[in-house]
Structure 1
Amino acid sequence: MTMIRKFVAGALAVIAGGTVAAVLIQPGSATADKRDREPIVIGHRGASAWRPEHTLLSYETAIGLGADFIEPDLVSTKDHILVARHENEIGGTTDVADHPEFASRRTTKTIDGVAVTGWFTEDFTLAELRTLRAKERIPDLRPESTAFNGLVPIPTFDEVIDLAQRHGVGVYPETKHPTYFDSIGLSLEEPLLATLARHGWRKASDPVFIQSFETANIRDLHKKTKLRLIQLVNGSGAPYDHVAKGDGFTYDQMVTPAGLKDVASYAYGVGVATTRILPVGADGRTVAPTTLVRDAHWAHLDVHTWTVRPENSQLPVDYRRGDPASPVYARATGDVTGYFNKLFDQNIDGVFSDDPGIARAVLGARALH
Structure 2
Amino acid sequence: MARPFASCLHAARLTRTAFATAAALALGACATPSGTLSTLDGKPPLVVAHRGASGQLPEETLEAYARAIELGADVIEMDLLSTRDGVLVTRHDPNLATSTDVAAHPEFAARKKTKQVDGETQTGWFVDEFTLAELKTLGAISTDAERPQQFNGRFKVPTFQEVVDLAKAKSKETGRTIAIYPETKNPTYFRDLGLPMEDKLIAILEAAGWNSRNAPVFVQSFEPGSLKYMKRQGLKTPMVQLIDGDGIDMKTGAITYAVPVDRPYEWTQAGDRRNFSVMVTPAGLAEIKTYADGIGPWKRYIVSIRGTIGADGKPVDVNRDGKINDADATSTAPTTLVADAHQAGLFVHPFTFRNESRRLASDYQGDAKNEYLAFYRLGVDGVFTDFTDTALAARATYLQQAGR
Q: TM-score under structure 1 normalisation?
A: 0.85
1:294 to 336, 339, 342: 339
Q: Secondary structure at the match of 2:203?
A: helix
| Residue in structure 2 matched with residue 245 of structure 1 by the alignment | 270
Q: Secondary structure at the match of 1:67?
A: coil
Query: C-alpha distance in 1, partners of 2:350/2:264?
Result: 17
| Residue in structure 2 matched with residue 150 of structure 1 by the alignment | 153
Q: Secondary structure at the match of 2:137?
A: coil
| Residue in structure 1 matched with residue 296 of structure 2 by the alignment | 271
Query: C-alpha distance in 1, partners of 2:360/2:57?
Result: 20
1:32/1:65 CA distance change after superposition, 3 Å: farther
Any idea what the Cα deviations from partners look like across 1:140-181, whole Å, max 9, x if unmatched? Answer: 211xx2111121110110111111111220110111111110
Within a 5 Å distance, the mapping from 1:83-94 to structure 2 comes to 83-94=89-100
| Residue in structure 2 matched with residue 176 of structure 1 by the alignment | 185
Q: Secondary structure at the match of 2:351?
A: strand
What code does the residue aligned with 1:38 have? Answer: P
Q: TM-score under structure 2 normalisation?
A: 0.78
Query: C-alpha distance in 2, partners of 1:31/1:246?
Result: 48
2:222 to 213, 230, 245: 213
Whether the aligned pair in 1 keeps the contact of 2:81 and 2:127 (CA below 8 Å) is yes
Query: C-alpha distance in 1, partners of 2:102/2:293?
Result: 38
Query: C-alpha distance in 2, partners of 1:368/1:304?
Result: 21
Structure (1 or 2) with the larger CA radius of gyration? 2
2:110 to 99, 104, 108: 104
1:305 to 350, 370, 392: 350
Q: Secondary structure at the match of 1:48?
A: coil
1:250/1:31 CA distance change after superposition, 3 Å: farther
Residue 32 of structure 1, CA deviation: 5.1
Decide which structure has greater helix share: 2
Query: C-alpha distance in 1, partners of 2:37/2:376?
Result: 7
Query: C-alpha distance in 2, partners of 1:76/1:270?
Result: 24
| Residue in structure 2 matched with residue 259 of structure 1 by the alignment | 284
What code does the residue aligned with 2:331 have? Answer: T
How many correspondences in the alignment?
324
- Check if 1:229 corresponds to 2:257: no
1:365/1:314 CA distance change after superposition, 3 Å: same
What code does the residue aligned with 2:244 have? Answer: N
What code does the residue aligned with 1:223 have? Answer: R
- Check if 1:347 corresponds to 2:379: yes
Within a 5 Å distance, the mapping from 1:118-197 to structure 2 comes to 118-138=124-144, 140-142=145-147, 145-168=148-171, 169-197=178-206
Q: Percent identity?
A: 43
What code does the residue aligned with 1:300 have? Answer: G
Query: C-alpha distance in 2, partners of 1:34/1:96?
Result: 46
| Residue in structure 2 matched with residue 34 of structure 1 by the alignment | 38
Any idea what the Cα deviations from partners look like across 1:324-351, whole Å, max 9, x if unmatched? Answer: xxxxxxxxxx310110000001100010
What code does the residue aligned with 1:54 have? Answer: E
Residue 31 of structure 1, CA deviation: 5.5
Q: Secondary structure at the match of 1:158?
A: helix
Query: C-alpha distance in 2, partners of 1:230/1:244?
Result: 22
Q: Secondary structure at the match of 2:96?
A: coil
What code does the residue aligned with 1:33 have? Answer: L
2:211 to 202, 208, 213: 202
| Residue in structure 1 matched with residue 392 of structure 2 by the alignment | 360
Residue 212 of structure 1, CA deviation: 0.7
| Residue in structure 1 matched with residue 81 of structure 2 by the alignment | 75
| Residue in structure 2 matched with residue 11 of structure 1 by the alignment | none
Residue 34 of structure 1, CA deviation: 2.0
1:31/1:353 CA distance change after superposition, 3 Å: farther
Gaps of 5+ in 2: 1-33, 172-177, 246-256, 309-328
What code does the residue aligned with 1:129 have? Answer: L
Whether the aligned pair in 2 keeps the contact of 1:31 and 1:366 (CA below 8 Å) is no
Any idea what the Cα deviations from partners look like across 1:271-312, whole Å, max 9, x if unmatched? Answer: 001100001123421110000011001100001100000001
What code does the residue aligned with 1:201 have? Answer: W
Whether the aligned pair in 2 keeps the contact of 1:31 and 1:37 (CA below 8 Å) is no
Query: C-alpha distance in 2, partners of 1:248/1:254?
Result: 13
Any idea what the Cα deviations from partners look like across 1:35-87, whole Å, max 9, x if unmatched? Answer: 32011110011011111111111111111111111011110000000111010
